Amino acid sequence: MNRAASERLYLALDQGGHASRALVFDGRGALLAKGLEEVRVRHPQPGWVEQDPEELVASLHSAAAAALRQLGARAARPTCAGLATQRASIVCWDRVSGAALSPVISWQDVRAHAWLEQFAPRADDIHRRTGLRLSAHYGASKLRWCLEHLPAVAAAHREGRLAFGPLAAFLIFRLLEERPLLVDPANAARTLLWNLATMDWDPELLALFGLPRAALPACVPTRHRFGDLQVGGHALALEILTGDQSAALFAHGAPRPDTAYINMGTGAFIQRALGRHPGDAAGLLTGVVFRDDAEVVYTLEGTVNGAGAALQWLEEEHGLKDVERDLPGWLDRDGAPPLFLNGVSGLGAPFWVPDFPSGFIGAGEPWQQAVAVAESIVFLLQVNLEELRRHDPAPREILVTGGLSWYDGLCRRLADLSGLPVYRPAEYESTARGLAYLLAGRPAAWPEPRPGTWFRAEQNPALQERHRRWRAEMQRALGN
């Protein structure tokens, strides 16, 4: 990297489930400034998860302004920006006024799963076209629900004013001066409407789900001149648009095919990067995490919907307080926990059961219940890791990031159960750092600011036995 490139600064915007972040990195990957605004999540009914679109827009403006203020005299140095968002969340809006016509319906939301069941005979074809399982977590059923249940959305459609699609498309429409109606592959691919082969909306799937093509944004590459973002009197070109998990894959440079990447936050996502389309992937997902004029990076992915969301569920349903604060100590205590069958926010890969009931097998004290929930995340990741091992080359190590990765007890259990070494980088802002890497042009050198921590696999027969019993209880609950 030449000196001019290394001295450029990059603004990375990360709109997540519980906060919007704005981070400034230099061309060597060093974090220079950070702004954060927490955002609210609503649960108006069981299975419904919503956010306020206006709050998300305002939070990104505020976080970006705070980050640039921290730069002081260097506030004019960033010249380009990238945005990563929650991938399967959707919004409907007025393409004339820009006003939101629906809430943000979260990727966790499964309100339309009963409606979606009518398409079960087409599930294999939908998987072949989109790389996704037929699931209400993705955008198609949410968009159709809005058309059928929100009068403002239906009226805008009749009058030719409707725009809808991934949250990313709404945010750039509102944040950028040009008001572009565009979306990138990683976010488009989480709608059940985007064809992996053509890299565009699938006309047959649009007809199947009864959704108008004219309301959707145009599909463009991950790297694109999307428009200009005004922050504190400075104009920054938005050059990268992608999903949060997609950006996280690049946090430590070019992803390695022999590494399984796990990002643990509200959900836990396990990915492997491939330079080719992997073909049929059974219970896993296939997607595109990056596309430019020269290259397409595909992934295989497994999902655990109930990671941080499961710990929050435990607090709400069982009255425990400060679970995430106390969990590190609990994970180190002696005493066998019960088992937890984790269907929080729906049972994800490779099972795909939207209404799987969560519950404990066996009794335990409150702290043991928390450990059981934490172990269920590891057990579900192990099931997905076994699916990933079916595809060459088999993973030889695990790289783990995200808020829950800071629990040593979780990382140790993941290493012991998988038999693979687990590496946790010291820098946990993986989504933003991956955005900065892409903005910097994917440089050959992208050094870590400081070394991370390795967790080596050890013999843990008690954990192995709990996992064996958990697998048996899951099979019984699934009716297999």
Q: Is the domain of 301 the same as that of 229?
A: no
The low-confidence residues of the chain, meaning pLDDT below 50, are 1-3
On whether residue 372 sits in a domain, the answer given is yes
Question: Are 171 and 232 in a shared domain?
Answer: yes
Last residue of a domain, one of 217, 243, 269: 243
Looking at the structure, tell me whether residues 176 and 67 fall in a common domain. yes
Residues 168 and 280 reside in one and the same domain: no
**Counting beta carbons within 10 angstroms of the beta carbon of residue 414, is it exposed (0 to 12), middle (13 to 18) or buried (19 or more)?**
buried
Residue 154 pLDDT:
98
Considering the domain boundaries, does residue 430 fall inside one?
A: no
Residue 379 lies inside a defined structural domain of this protein? yes
* Encoded amino acid at 423, one letter: Y
Please report, as a single letter, which amino acid is at residue 175: L
Same domain? For 172 and 281 the reply is no
Domain boundary (191, 208, 243) is at 243
- Residue 440 placed within a domain: no
Pairwise CA distance, residues 112 & 120, whole Å: 14
**Are both 186 and 277 inside the same structural domain?**
no
Please report whether residue 74 resides in a domain.
yes
Number of folded domains that form the chain: 2
Residue 226 and residue 87 share a domain: yes
Residues 113 and 146 in one domain: yes
Provide the token pair at 322: 């400060």
Residues 305 and 349 in one domain: yes
* 221 within a domain of the structure (yes/no): yes
- CB neighbour class for 476 (10 Å; exposed up to 12, middle 13-18, buried from 19): exposed
What pLDDT is stored for residue 2 in this prediction? 47
- Out of 243, 274, 292, pick the residue that ends a domain: 243
Report the 3 state secondary structure along the chain.
Answer: CCHHHHCCEEEEEEECCCEEEEEEEECCCCEEEEEEEECCCECCCCCCCEECHHHHHHHHHHHHHHHHHHHHHHCCCCCEEEEEECCCCEEEEECCCCCECCCEECCCCCCCHHHHHHHHHHHHHHHHHHCCCCCCCCHHHHHHHHHHHCHHHHHHHHCCCEEEEEHHHHHHHHHECCCCCEECHHHHCCCCCEECCCCEECHHHHHHHCCCHHHCCEECCCEEEEEEEEECCEEEEEEEEEEHHHHHCCCCCCCCCCEEEEEECCCEEEEEEECCCCCCCCCCEEEEEEECCCCEEEEEEEEECCCHHHHHHHHHHHCCCCHHHHHHHHHCCCCCCCEEECCCCCECCCCCECCCCCEEECCCCHHHHHHHHHHHHHHHHHHHHHHHCCCCCCCCEEEEECHHHHCHHHHHHHHHHHCCCEEECCCCCHHHHHHHHHHCCCCCCCCCCCCCEEECCCCCHHHHHHHHHHHHHHHHHCCC
Tell me which residue of 189, 195, 182, 285 sits closest to 240, measured CA to CA: 182
pLDDT on residue 1: 47
| Residues 297 and 360 reside in one and the same domain | yes
Tens-place pLDDT, residues 415-425 = 999 999 999 99
Domain containing 456: what range? 253-424+450-480
Q: Verify that 132 and 272 share a domain, yes or no.
A: no
Residues 166 and 28 in one domain: yes
Centre a 10 Å sphere on the Cβ of residue 407 and count the other Cβ atoms it contains: 20
Burial 369-394 (b: 16+ CB within 10 A, else e): bbbbbbbbbbbbbbbbbebbeebeee
